[in-house]
Protein backbone atom coordinates (compact mmCIF):
# COMPACT_ATOMS: atom_id res chain seq x y z
CA UNK A 1 0.00 0.00 0.00
CA UNK A 2 1.46 3.36 -1.07
CA UNK A 3 0.11 6.83 -0.37
CA UNK A 4 0.23 8.70 -3.68
CA UNK A 5 -1.40 11.98 -2.63
CA UNK A 6 -2.34 13.58 0.66
CA UNK A 7 -3.79 17.06 1.10
CA UNK A 8 -6.21 18.75 3.47
CA UNK A 9 -9.15 17.51 1.38
CA UNK A 10 -8.11 14.21 -0.26
CA UNK A 11 -5.93 11.18 0.26
CA UNK A 12 -5.11 8.65 -2.48
CA UNK A 13 -3.63 5.26 -1.68
CA UNK A 14 -2.51 2.62 -4.18
CA UNK A 15 -3.52 -0.76 -2.80
CA UNK A 16 -1.33 -3.67 -3.89
CA UNK A 17 -3.54 -6.69 -3.37
CA UNK A 18 -0.89 -9.38 -3.68
CA UNK A 19 1.96 -7.55 -1.94
CA UNK A 20 3.62 -8.36 1.34
CA UNK A 21 3.61 -6.00 4.33
CA UNK A 22 6.53 -4.00 2.87
CA UNK A 23 4.76 -3.47 -0.48
CA UNK A 24 6.91 -5.96 -2.38
CA UNK A 25 5.07 -8.07 -4.95
CA UNK A 26 4.11 -11.46 -3.58
CA UNK A 27 6.18 -14.42 -4.70
CA UNK A 28 4.52 -16.48 -7.39
CA UNK A 29 2.78 -19.56 -6.11
CA UNK A 30 1.46 -21.92 -8.73
CA UNK A 31 -2.34 -21.65 -8.93
CA UNK A 32 -2.52 -25.44 -8.73
CA UNK A 33 -0.95 -25.29 -5.26
CA UNK A 34 -3.45 -22.71 -4.04
CA UNK A 35 -6.45 -23.95 -5.99
CA UNK A 36 -6.43 -27.70 -6.65
CA UNK A 37 -9.59 -27.30 -8.74
CA UNK A 38 -7.68 -25.07 -11.16
CA UNK A 39 -9.24 -21.70 -10.26
CA UNK A 40 -6.79 -18.98 -11.39
CA UNK A 41 -5.51 -16.29 -9.05
CA UNK A 42 -5.78 -12.68 -10.28
CA UNK A 43 -4.08 -9.60 -8.87
CA UNK A 44 -6.64 -7.03 -7.72
CA UNK A 45 -4.77 -3.77 -7.46
CA UNK A 46 -6.78 -0.64 -6.87
CA UNK A 47 -6.92 2.88 -5.51
CA UNK A 48 -8.61 4.20 -2.40
CA UNK A 49 -9.68 7.84 -2.55
CA UNK A 50 -10.71 9.42 0.74
CA UNK A 51 -12.69 12.66 0.77
CA UNK A 52 -11.65 14.12 4.11
CA UNK A 53 -14.38 16.77 4.00
CA UNK A 54 -17.23 14.25 3.87
CA UNK A 55 -15.45 11.46 5.76
CA UNK A 56 -16.20 9.01 2.92
CA UNK A 57 -14.05 6.83 0.69
CA UNK A 58 -14.29 5.02 -2.61
CA UNK A 59 -12.24 2.03 -3.74
CA UNK A 60 -11.49 1.88 -7.46
CA UNK A 61 -10.61 -1.44 -9.04
CA UNK A 62 -11.05 -3.04 -12.43
CA UNK A 63 -11.83 -0.60 -15.24
CA UNK A 64 -12.23 2.30 -12.78
CA UNK A 65 -8.68 1.69 -11.51
CA UNK A 66 -7.38 1.52 -15.08
CA UNK A 67 -9.03 4.85 -15.90
CA UNK A 68 -7.58 6.44 -12.76
CA UNK A 69 -4.14 4.99 -13.61
CA UNK A 70 -4.32 6.86 -16.93
CA UNK A 71 -4.75 10.12 -14.97
CA UNK A 72 -1.68 9.29 -12.88
CA UNK A 73 0.42 8.57 -15.99
CA UNK A 74 -0.74 11.85 -17.57
CA UNK A 75 0.17 13.70 -14.36
CA UNK A 76 3.67 12.21 -14.52
CA UNK A 77 4.10 13.53 -18.08
CA UNK A 78 2.59 16.99 -17.47
CA UNK A 79 2.83 17.98 -13.82
CA UNK A 80 -0.60 19.35 -12.88
CA UNK A 81 -1.39 22.07 -10.40
CA UNK A 82 -2.91 21.10 -7.07
CA UNK A 83 -6.23 22.56 -8.28
CA UNK A 84 -6.19 20.26 -11.33
CA UNK A 85 -5.47 17.20 -9.18
CA UNK A 86 -8.17 18.12 -6.67
CA UNK A 87 -10.68 18.75 -9.46
CA UNK A 88 -10.07 15.25 -10.83
CA UNK A 89 -10.27 13.69 -7.36
CA UNK A 90 -13.52 15.56 -6.71
CA UNK A 91 -15.07 13.81 -9.71
CA UNK A 92 -14.13 10.40 -8.33
CA UNK A 93 -15.12 11.38 -4.78
CA UNK A 94 -18.69 11.81 -6.00
CA UNK A 95 -18.77 8.00 -6.12
CA UNK A 96 -17.78 7.76 -2.44
CA UNK A 97 -20.48 6.26 -0.25
CA UNK A 98 -18.52 4.30 2.35
CA UNK A 99 -17.84 6.14 5.59
CA UNK A 100 -14.23 6.06 6.74
CA UNK A 101 -14.07 3.83 9.83
CA UNK A 102 -11.02 3.48 12.03
CA UNK A 103 -10.52 -0.02 13.37
Provide φ and ψ at 48, rounded to 5°.
Answer: -105, 125
Strand order in the sheet with 46-51: 2-6, 10-15, 46-51, 56-61, 98-99
For the question of whether the overall pTM of this predicted structure is more than 0.75, the answer is no
**Confidence bin at 41 (pLDDT 50/70/90):** low
pLDDT surpasses 90 at 27: no
End-to-end CA distance of the chain: 17
d(CA 103, CA 91): 27
Q: Which of 46, 41, 40 is nearest to 16 (CA)?
A: 46
Amino acid sequence: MHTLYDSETYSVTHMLANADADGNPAKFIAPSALYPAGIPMMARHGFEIVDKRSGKEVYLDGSWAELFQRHIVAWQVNTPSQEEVESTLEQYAELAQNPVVVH
